[in-house]
């Protein structure tokens, strides 16, 4: 950046000095005509000097352009890196209250807008100031009277710039806000295109997009219109100034107060003077657009992080004992998701958590993995409070299979090995066979080299979940968290997975969240939750014998299955 500024200063200095020598060359020609004798040597020297100055100015202009581009792109590289790191430090609750499309717009569109603005602003602003001050000094040297006439345009230009800037700032902020909302709609349509088509809502989706697109068009048009007013108005002021300088300068020449070369040089300097004034006015609209985007980017960078995100000096204990002590937590704007929750999972014990949808089961997982922090109470692992353990080190102890499967763009083999990239091929194949992934992968044309796209296409939801289970098996973590791990598989596959999981869970602490109560019969401890509280706990047989809430859940689930079986039999 220092090199770009130096190159800009040299370029501006050469551009300011050249008109003076060109005016001297004009005076040599005029003197030669009037005296019938041309000083060819001096004329040639002046012309070569002027040509050399313009050539050097072009060279330094190119140098500053290259250095500015490198500086700005380096700056944007760092800014994008800071955004990427920030996204990892943000709490899960941030993404629940912010659309993904808007976040993507801030990280891409707004950053690109800042880069484009800085490319034009950083050196051009310096160049304009130098050209403005340099040409003013030369005009005062040549003719103070004409310099005063030229300066008369400055207050007018300033007033125009201030008035236009006030209007354009709000319009640019609205434009980039509407851009983020439009991206949010596009992201929703792409993610939910199957649902949109299944319910025949293409017209409604198109209407939502059209309205958002109309708002963006109107906001962008107003921003561009208000910003576009600067250049024409500045050009008008510049042309009026040019007329005044030319007329008064002609009278000065006729009176013998100036030479023809002097008035020629002055007119060039007046152009050099008014041009930066107009450029600065135009740059202010760029600044407004840049500021609007920067405000959105820095709002993301300044977003609140988890209170314990930067904590974590304690080592991860080898003991796998998990204890929830009177834990209460509520999501923003909602009632408590869990309230006064207390339980203990001993090392090697399998703990199942069951209950109706919304009972708080998945919140237990979020708290355990520190996706969110408890409002009160404490959670310990091996006697150490989770907030004292760094998140990355804590999560390295857990093998996780979530209800919402996530597969990245890559091969099936790479997705299985995601939690253990250094695993040998034999271990990957063993995990795939144990999770019954192998039986459907072998039928694919490219087998384990099949490339997955869009979160797992072309596989079914059940097949994606099997791959997630294989990934957890291969990771071989001490503590396992299974959140509805069998929710998307058929009954036969569920049985096979349960058998594989029983082998996998042997000797490990595990938390199993399930709607299907058939998957938790063999758990060492079953916690029954309702409205964020544990209402019953015990073993499967003990809870059935108590004939309470768990029994009602069990009977409702299996009675409905029997009714379906009877209906199917009657229909056949």
Residue 278, pLDDT score: 62
550-563 tens-digit pLDDT: 888 888 876 555 44
Of the ranges 179-183, 227-231, 243-247, 355-359, which one carries the lowest mean pLDDT score?
A: 227-231
Output b/e per residue, 362-393; b: 16+ Cβ within 10 A: bbbbbbbbbbbbbeebebbbbeeebbebbbee
Residue 566, pLDDT score: 39
As a whole number of angstroms, the distance between CA 134 and CA 519 comes to 82
Two tokens, residue 329: 């937590």
Write the CA distances from 485 to 137, 337, 442, 526, integer angstroms: 77, 21, 23, 16
- Give the CA-trace dihedral at 440, 445, 449, 455, to 10 degrees: -70
As a whole number of angstroms, the distance between CA 252 and CA 255 comes to 5
Q: Is the dihedral of CA 174, 180, 183, 188 positive or negative?
A: negative
What three-state secondary structure class fits 105? helix
pLDDT at residue 569 is higher than 70: no
Q: Whose structure tokens read 């998307």? A: 488
Q: How many CB atoms lie within 10 A of CB 223?
A: 24
17-57 tens-digit pLDDT: 888 888 788 878 877 766 656 778 888 888 899 899 999 99
What three-state secondary structure class fits 314? strand
Residue 487, pLDDT score: 62
Average pLDDT, the chain: 81
For residue 548, the 8-state DSSP code is S
Q: Where are the beta strands (DSSP E) in 419-524?
A: 451-452, 479-483, 509-513
Q: Please, are residues 42 and 74 in contact by the beta-carbon 8 Å criterion?
A: no
Q: How many CB atoms lie within 10 A of CB 255?
A: 8
Cα angle 27, 28, 31; round to 5: 80
Of the ranges 219-233, 491-505, 510-524, which one carries the lowest mean pLDDT score?
A: 491-505
Two tokens, residue 101: 């499309």
Q: Residue ranges of the alpha helices (H) in 36-110?
A: 40-89, 92-96, 100-105
Question: Which whole number is the average pLDDT over 260-279?
Answer: 75
Question: Which whole number is the average pLDDT over 351-367?
Answer: 87
366-396 tens-digit pLDDT: 888 888 889 999 999 888 888 888 887 888 8
For residue 315, the 8-state DSSP code is P
For residue 312, the 8-state DSSP code is -
Two tokens, residue 234: 């500045």
pLDDT at residue 484 is higher than 90: no
As a whole number of angstroms, the distance between CA 29 and CA 37 comes to 9
Question: Which whole number is the average pLDDT over 468-475?
Answer: 83
Residue 379, pLDDT score: 93
Q: Tell me how long the chain is.
A: 572
Q: Find the helix or strand (DSSP H, E) in which 324 lies.
A: strand 322-330
Question: Which whole number is the average pLDDT over 97-126?
Answer: 82
280-322 tens-digit pLDDT: 766 777 787 888 889 989 998 998 876 555 455 667 777 778 9
- What percent of the chain is modeled with pLDDT above 90? 9
Residue 55, pLDDT score: 93
238 or 489, which is more confident: 238
As a whole number of angstroms, the distance between CA 528 and CA 517 comes to 11
Q: Identify whether 458 is preceded by a cis peptide bond (ω within 30 of 0).
A: yes
Number of helices (H), then strands (E), belonging to the chain: the values are 20, 12
Q: Is the dihedral of CA 149, 150, 153, 154 positive or negative?
A: negative
Residue 563, pLDDT score: 46
CB-based burial of residue 172 (10 Å sphere; 0-12 exposed, 13-18 middle, 19+ buried)?
A: buried
Expressed in percent and rounded to 5, the helix, strand and coil fractions of the chain are 65, 10, 20
pLDDT at residue 209 is higher than 80: yes
Question: Which whole number is the average pLDDT over 522-543?
Answer: 90
Structural domains of the chain in order of their starting residue, each with its CATH number:
2-301 (1.20.1560.10), 322-397+477-571 (3.40.50.300), 407-471 (no CATH)
Question: Which whole number is the average pLDDT over 432-460?
Answer: 83
325-352 tens-digit pLDDT: 999 998 877 788 999 999 999 888 889 9
Write the CA distances from 147 to 92, 152, 270, 383, integer angstroms: 62, 9, 8, 81
pLDDT at residue 136 is higher than 90: no
Residue 221, pLDDT score: 85
As a whole number of angstroms, the distance between CA 368 and CA 543 comes to 25
Cα angle 466, 470, 474; round to 5: 170
Q: Please, are residues 352 and 522 in contact by the beta-carbon 8 Å criterion?
A: no
As a whole number of angstroms, the distance between CA 244 and CA 148 comes to 11
R_g of the chain computed on alpha carbons: 36
Strand bridging mode 350-355 / 525-530? parallel
For residue 201, the 8-state DSSP code is -
């Amino acid at each position: 950046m220092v090199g770009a500024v130096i190159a800009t200063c040299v370029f501006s200095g050469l551009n300011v000095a050249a008109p003076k020598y060109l005016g001297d060359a004009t005076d040599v020609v005029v003197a030669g005509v009037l005296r019938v004798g041309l000083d060819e040597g001096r004329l040639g020297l002046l012309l070569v000097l002027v040509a050399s100055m313009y050539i050097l100015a072009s060279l330094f202009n190119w140098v500053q352009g290259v250095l500015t581009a490198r500086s700005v792109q380096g700056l944007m590289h760092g800014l994008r890196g800071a955004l990427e790191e920030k996204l990892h430090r943000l709490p899960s609750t941030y993404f629940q209250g912010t659309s993904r499309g808007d976040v993507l717009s801030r990280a891409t569109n707004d950053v690109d807008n800042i880069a484009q603005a800085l490319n034009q602003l950083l050196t051009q602003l310096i160049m304009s100031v130098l050209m403005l001050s340099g040409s003013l000094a030369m005009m005062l040297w040549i003719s103070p009277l004409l310099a005063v006439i030229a300066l008369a345009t400055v207050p007018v230009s300033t007033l125009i710039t201030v008035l236009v800037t006030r209007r354009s700032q709000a319009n640019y902020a609205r434009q980039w806000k509407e851009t983020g909302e439009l991206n949010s709609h596009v992201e929703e349509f792409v993610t939910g295109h199957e649902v949109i088509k299944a319910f025949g809502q293409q017209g409604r989706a198109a209407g939502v997009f059209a309205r958002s697109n109309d708002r963006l068009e109107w906001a962008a048009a107003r921003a561009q219109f208000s910003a576009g007013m600067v250049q024409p108005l500045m050009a008008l002021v510049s042309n009026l100034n040019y007329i005044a300088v030319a007329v008064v300068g002609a009278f000065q020449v006729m009176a013998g107060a100036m030479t023809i070369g002097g008035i020629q040089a002055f007119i060039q300097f007046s152009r050099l003077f008014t041009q930066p004034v107009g450029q600065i006015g135009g740059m202010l609209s760029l600044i407004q657009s840049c500021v609007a985007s920067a405000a959105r980017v820095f709002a993301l960078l300044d977003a609140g992080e988890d209170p314990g995100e930067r904590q974590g000096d304690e080592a991860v204990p080898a003991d796998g004992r998990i204890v929830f002590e009177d834990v209460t937590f509520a999501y923003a704007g909602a009632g408590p998701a869990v309230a006064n929750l207390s339980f203990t999972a001993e090392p090697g014990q399998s703990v199942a958590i069951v209950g109706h949808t919304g009972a708080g089961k998945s919140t237990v997982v979020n708290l355990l993995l520190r996706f969110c922090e408890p409002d009160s109470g404490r959670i310990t692992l091996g006697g150490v409070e989770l907030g004292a353990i760094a998140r990355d080190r804590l999560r390295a102890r857990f093998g996780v299979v979530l209800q919402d499967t996530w597969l990245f763009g890559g091969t099936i083999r790479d997705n299985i090995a995601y939690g253990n990239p250094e695993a040998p091929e034999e271990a990957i194949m063993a995990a795939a066979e144990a999770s019954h992934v192998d039986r459907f992968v072998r039928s694919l044309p490219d087998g384990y080299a099949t490339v997955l796209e869009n979160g797992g296409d072309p596989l079914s939801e059940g097949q994606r979940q099997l791959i997630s289970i294989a990934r957890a098996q291969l990771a071989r973590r001490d503590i396992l968290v299974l959140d509805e791990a069998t929710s998307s598989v058929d009954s036969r596959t569920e049985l096979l997975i349960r058998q594989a999981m029983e082998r996998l869970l042997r000797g490990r602490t595990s938390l199993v969240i399930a709607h299907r109560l058939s998957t938790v019969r063999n758990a060492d401890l079953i916690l029954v939750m309702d409205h964020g509280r544990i209402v019953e706990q015990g073993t499967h047989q003990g809870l059935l014998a108590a004939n309470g809430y768990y029994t009602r859940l069990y009977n409702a689930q299996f009675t409905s299955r029997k009714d379906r079986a009877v209906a199917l039999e009657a229909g056949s």
